[in-house]
Amino acid sequence: MSGAGRTESRSGRIRTEPPIRTRALTKQYGDLNAVDGLDLEVRAGEIFGLLGANGAGKTTTILMLLGLTERTSGAVRVVGFDPARNPLEVKRRVGYLPDAVGFYDDMTGRENLRYTARLNGLKGQVAEQKIETVLDQVRLSDRADDRAGTYSRGMLQRLGIADALVKDPTVLILDEPTTAIDPIGVVEILEMLRGLVRDRGVTMLLSSHLLTQVQSVCDRVGIFAAGKLVGIGTVPELATRFGEGDAHVEVAFEGVSDPATSDRVAGFLAAIQDVAEVRRATSLLDPWTLVVRPPESAIRVREAVLAVSAREGLHLTSIRSVVASLDEIYTKAVRAAGLASGSHRPSGDRPAAGGRAVA
Amino acid sequence: MTEASAPVAEPASVPVLDRPIPPRGWVVIGRKEIGDHVSSARFVVLLIVLGLAAGIPLYLAAEQIRNLASQVSGAQAVFLAMWVIGAQDSSIFQLNVTIQSFVGLAAPLLGIAFAFDAVNGERSQGTLPRLISQPIYRDDIINGKFAGALAVISLVLVSVMIFIAGFGMIRLGIVPSLGEVIRLGLWVVVTIVYVGVWLALGLLLSVAVRRAATSALMGLGSWLLLVVFGKFIVNLFIAFFIRVPANGTAQEQLQVAQLQDFVTRLLPTTLYTEASIVLLNPRATSTGGTLGTLGQYDQAQQQIPSLLSLDQSLLLVWPHIVALVAIMAVLFAAAYIRFMRQEVRA
Ligand SMILES: Nc1ncnc2c1ncn2[C@@H]1O[C@H](COP(=O)(O)OP(=O)(O)OP(=O)(O)O)[C@@H](O)[C@H]1O
Ligand SMILES: [Mg+2]
């Protein structure tokens, strides 16, 4: 592997090599395929979200990317190196937040970070300044000189993120970075991380099962189920792929309070061409949902709703198209993969760039 | 290490780091370990144990040593006698209360106490994944922890020995010869190696056993097995596997006895005790047998009028030192191999 890798880096073809790339990466624990033939590519300067349920294989994948766990088969390259052969080259460039991060209880937060800095060859004034900066970035400056043993769970998580940043990484790998952090803190931290990506071209891979968070911060997401990547792309791309060929339009009316009116309105809406289903709201205030098939008809359906409302004197108060949320995409992607697994269909489409094999 | 050098050309997307990899990650880890140990309760225990190991025998035997120094004119190697002479009839569990035997008893415990939670402690604190993801080799962690603990114990050991020497010179008026100082120095080195053996065992346990409490218990068990019952167990085993018929010839009996002797000598405890005696007692001509009380000391002096020269003694203990280092290396390698293949996750 190493010899070939080195030739590659001289040839120039790999100059555009993505910071993280795996080919047919597999990890077996006994009979269990924790990660199963994973082809993953994270591009420079993007935030990539790994989504998956408990036990899907997110942490295992991350550990293999860092060379912390031996892979069973397949190839990995991170920042141009094979983590199994050149672990130090990878580790000095990759900041890592483990899923259950811990610190030395009897040392202060600052002392903990100082130790990490030393291990990365940072000393003296340079190290102190860096530590001050990262503590500030995670809003922990005022507690920095308390013992880490006195920190709350969320503060430890923040310190963990600071710890991953101390080495000035080119790639950040964060395993469930926002667990235990309060809602405002999450927004703050995701904003800070996004800033790092924007200002310094850091590439970020984060794993999570908090779908909405991933949706708000990630450029692309990969959906993981049972060790396989069942979908990869931007959220709208995935929505199109896993939307089961439909789009949703939300409509809300005023004065649809009695069953008779409700039935009448439902009748008008169902009559519109390409409206496959009318889902009435369970409560009076919620909008109704029209399922449109094929999804391209969504715009035409919206116009038709407006026309019908004018003609029949309905008080339309709002109308909008909704992109399927990541929750739905996720559920559908996983379900689709479950159906496919019996027929040995390769799991999901892969991005075009993913066709190249590692030499 | 087998780690390859930096590649000739890095991919364009990877900025070249001007910051070098810290060349010796184990130094950084060792330094932190020293700081941790010195401020820990363990350190206090270390001070008390080694202090007692020096204080009690010295207190009990001081009078005799003083007499020896003044009465037996021309008594040789009186300085070293402070380490190997105990009080008359003050044996506990058949161990003579001498500084040497006390240190021999305590060294394994100290070794285990300073290493039993080295790796599993990091694991249970959740700091292991973070530590391993820094640009260091996995063996740096083991090396650093070993070096840190050994440095702390050695420092205290050397300080205590210097204190004893000072006590002997000032209070008892015994001035050491150069040869004696060298012998004492060598003994301290052998003692440090011996502590190293037990540190390596503690490290192995801390890698192999997930719970620190269990690993501490197992360490204590090994100590009891080897230090206290070692010889007994060896004899029991050999008697079990090789049955000498009741009407066996003297030749056969002798062979079994020799085998017992040989295996017993491979125990680190025996290796250390024998090496100590030769180094601290210039009269010892063989590595067997111990000198304990003043009476025996006098006798020995009458039997063998001449002292062994330093290089003769060294020749005698060289195999012991090599064997101790070998045992340490094996334990260390076992810990290392085990750790290399271990999952980071709990
Ligand atoms: N050391 C191990 N031995 C055996 N099986 C393991 C081991 N570590 C992980 N597994 C299994 O591998 C699978 C993937 O685990 P992994 O920790 O990667 O999941 P995850 O996606 O990170 O889940 P979570 O969201 O809970 O963190 C699980 O089924 C788990 O039981
Ligand atoms: Mg996980």
Among B22, B28, B344, the residue with its CB nearest the CB of A69 is B344
- Inter-chain contact B126–A120, Cβ cutoff 8 Å? no
In a domain, B237, yes or no: no
Question: CA separation (Å) from B319 to A51, A317, B198, B287, B323?
Answer: 61, 95, 19, 11, 6
pLDDT of amino acid A325: 67
pLDDT of amino acid A286: 81
Among A6, A17, A101, the residue with its CB nearest the CB of B130 is A101
Query: Which of A209-213, B14-18, B45-49 has the weakest average pLDDT?
Result: B14-18
Q: Does A231 touch chain B (CB under 8 A)?
A: no
CA geometry: angle B38, B41, B45, nearest 5 deg: 95
Burial pattern A46-80, b for ≥16 Cβ within 10 A else e, equals bbbbbbbeeebbbbbbbbbbbbbbebeebbbbbbb
Confidence of residue B120 (pLDDT cuts 50, 70, 90): very high
pLDDT of amino acid B86: 63
Query: Which of A153-157, A294-298, B122-126, B165-169 has the weakest average pLDDT?
Result: A294-298
- CA A244 to chain B, closest CA, distance in angstroms equals 38
DSSP H or E segment with residue A5: helix A2-11
- Inter-chain contact A121–B19, Cβ cutoff 8 Å? yes
Burial pattern B84-109, b for ≥16 Cβ within 10 A else e, equals bbbbeeeeeeebbbbbbbbbbbbbbb
Query: Which of B100-114, B199-213, B319-333 has the weakest average pLDDT?
Result: B100-114
Nearest CA to ligand 1 atom 27: A54
For chain A, what are the domain ranges? 2-240, 244-322
Q: Which residues, including other chains, have CB under 8 Å from residue B300's CB and lie 6 or more apart?
A: B283, B291
Q: Does A153 touch chain B (CB under 8 A)?
A: no
* Nearest ligand to the CA atom of A57: 1
Confidence of residue B150 (pLDDT cuts 50, 70, 90): very high
User: Does the C-beta of A69 come closer than 6 Å to ligand 1?
Assistant: no
Query: Which of A77-86, A350-359, B126-135, B267-276 has the weakest average pLDDT?
Result: A350-359
- pLDDT for B44 beyond 70: yes
More confident residue, B51 or B313: B51
- Inter-chain contact B19–A122, Cβ cutoff 8 Å? yes
* Nearest alpha carbon to residue A252 among A265, A263, A270: A265
Ordered DSSP codes for B125-141: HT-HHHHHTSSS-HHHH
In a domain, B69, yes or no: yes
- What class is the A244-322 domain? alpha beta
- CA A319 to chain B, closest CA, distance in angstroms equals 46
pLDDT of amino acid A106: 92
The arithmetic mean of pLDDT across residues B15-39, rounded, is: 80
Confidence of residue A245 (pLDDT cuts 50, 70, 90): low
In B, which residues are within 8 Å of A167 by CB distance?
134-135
Handedness of CA B38, B40, B42, B45 (dihedral sign): positive
Give yes or no for a contact between A130 and A122, defined as CB atoms under 8 angstroms apart: yes
User: Does the C-beta of B343 come closer than 6 Å to ligand 1?
Assistant: yes
The arithmetic mean of pLDDT across residues B32-39, rounded, is: 92
- CA B40 to chain A, closest CA, distance in angstroms equals 10
pLDDT of amino acid A6: 38
- Inter-chain contact B10–A9, Cβ cutoff 8 Å? yes
DSSP state of A13: G
In a domain, B240, yes or no: no
How many beta-carbon pairs below 8 A join chains A and B? 122
In angstroms, rounded to a whole number, what is the distance separating the alpha carbons of residues B320 and A60? 47
Strand partners, A175: A207
User: Does the C-beta of A56 come closer than 6 Å to ligand 1?
Assistant: yes
Structure tokens at A262: 């409700």
The arithmetic mean of pLDDT across residues A247-276, rounded, is: 84
Q: What percent of chain B has pLDDT over 90?
A: 31
Mean pLDDT rounded to a whole number for chain B: 78
User: Does the C-beta of A209 come closer than 6 Å to ligand 1?
Assistant: yes
- pLDDT for B112 beyond 90: yes
- Inter-chain contact A19–B14, Cβ cutoff 8 Å? yes
pLDDT of amino acid A349: 37
pLDDT of amino acid B27: 92
- CA A168 to chain B, closest CA, distance in angstroms equals 10
Confidence of residue A344 (pLDDT cuts 50, 70, 90): very low
In a domain, B192, yes or no: yes
Structure tokens at B282: 């210039």
CA A263 – ligand 1 centroid, Å: 50
User: Does the C-beta of A52 come closer than 6 Å to ligand 1?
Assistant: yes
Q: Is A41 strand, coil or helix?
A: strand
Q: Does A194 touch chain B (CB under 8 A)?
A: no
Q: Does A88 touch chain B (CB under 8 A)?
A: yes
pLDDT of amino acid B182: 86
Among B22, B29, B132, the residue with its CB nearest the CB of A68 is B132
Give yes or no for a contact between A92 and A167, defined as CB atoms under 8 angstroms apart: yes
- Inter-chain contact A120–B130, Cβ cutoff 8 Å? no
Query: Which of A8-17, A331-340, B103-112 has the weakest average pLDDT?
Result: A8-17
User: Helices B250-266 & B268-280, crossing angle to 10 degrees?
Assistant: 90
Confidence of residue B221 (pLDDT cuts 50, 70, 90): very high
pLDDT of amino acid B273: 86
User: Helices B138-170 & B310-340, crossing angle to 10 degrees?
Assistant: 150
Mutating which of B13, B31, B345 best tests the A interface, going by the most A Cβ atoms within 10 A? B13
CA A181 – ligand 2 centroid, Å: 17
In angstroms, rounded to a whole number, what is the distance separating the alpha carbons of residues B86 and A87? 55
In angstroms, rounded to a whole number, what is the distance separating the alpha carbons of residues B306 and B313? 13
In angstroms, rounded to a whole number, what is the distance separating the alpha carbons of residues B51 and B56? 8
Nearest CA to ligand 1 atom 16: A57
Question: Which of A22-26, B243-247, B286-290 reaches the highest mean pLDDT?
Answer: A22-26
* Nearest alpha carbon to residue B112 among B219, B212, B34: B219
Confidence of residue B245 (pLDDT cuts 50, 70, 90): low
Question: CA separation (Å) from A188 to A137, A139, B262?
Answer: 9, 9, 70
Q: What percent of chain B has pLDDT over 70?
A: 74
- pLDDT for B254 beyond 50: yes
User: Does the C-beta of A245 come closer than 6 Å to ligand 1?
Assistant: no
Confidence of residue B342 (pLDDT cuts 50, 70, 90): confident
Confidence of residue B88 (pLDDT cuts 50, 70, 90): low
End-to-end Cα spacing for chain A: 8
Structure tokens at A255: 């004065």
Record: fold of A2-240: Rossmann fold (3.40.50)
Confidence of residue A21 (pLDDT cuts 50, 70, 90): very high
- pLDDT for B151 beyond 90: yes
pLDDT of amino acid B324: 93
User: Does the C-beta of B341 come closer than 6 Å to ligand 1?
Assistant: no
In a domain, B34, yes or no: yes
* Nearest ligand to the CA atom of A209: 1
Question: CA separation (Å) from B95 to A80, B4, B101, B192, B286?
Answer: 62, 53, 7, 21, 20
User: Does the C-beta of B89 come closer than 6 Å to ligand 1?
Assistant: no
Quote the number of domains for chain B.
1
In angstroms, rounded to a whole number, what is the distance separating the alpha carbons of residues A352 and A95? 28
CA A59 – ligand 2 centroid, Å: 4
- pLDDT for B116 beyond 50: yes
pLDDT of amino acid B77: 61
Question: Which of A103-107, A226-230, A293-297 reaches the highest mean pLDDT?
Answer: A103-107
More confident residue, B301 or A173: A173
Residue A290's CB: how many other CB atoms inside 10 A? 27
Q: Where are the alpha helices (DSSP H) in A47-86?
A: 58-65
User: Does the C-beta of A222 come closer than 6 Å to ligand 1?
Assistant: no
> For chain B, how many residues are written?
346
pLDDT (tens digit, 9 = 90+) per residue, A154-203? 899 999 999 999 999 999 999 999 888 888 888 888 888 888 888 888 99
Query: Which of A166-175, A272-281, B193-202, B321-330 has the weakest average pLDDT?
Result: A272-281
In angstroms, rounded to a whole number, what is the distance separating the alpha carbons of residues B300 and B63? 20
Residue B251's CB: how many other CB atoms inside 10 A? 7
pLDDT of amino acid A239: 74
Q: Give the residue, out of A32, A62, A174, A330, with the most ligand 1 atoms within 8 A of its beta carbon, to mutate for a pocket test.
A: A32
- Inter-chain contact B126–A160, Cβ cutoff 8 Å? no
Confidence of residue B291 (pLDDT cuts 50, 70, 90): very low
The arithmetic mean of pLDDT across residues B310-323, rounded, is: 82
Residue A315's CB: how many other CB atoms inside 10 A? 10
Question: Which amino acid makes up residue A299?
Answer: I
Residues 49-78 of chain A whose Cβ lies under 8 A from any Cβ of chain B: 59, 63, 66, 68-70
Minimal-distance CA residue of chain B relative to A6: B7
DSSP state of A343: G
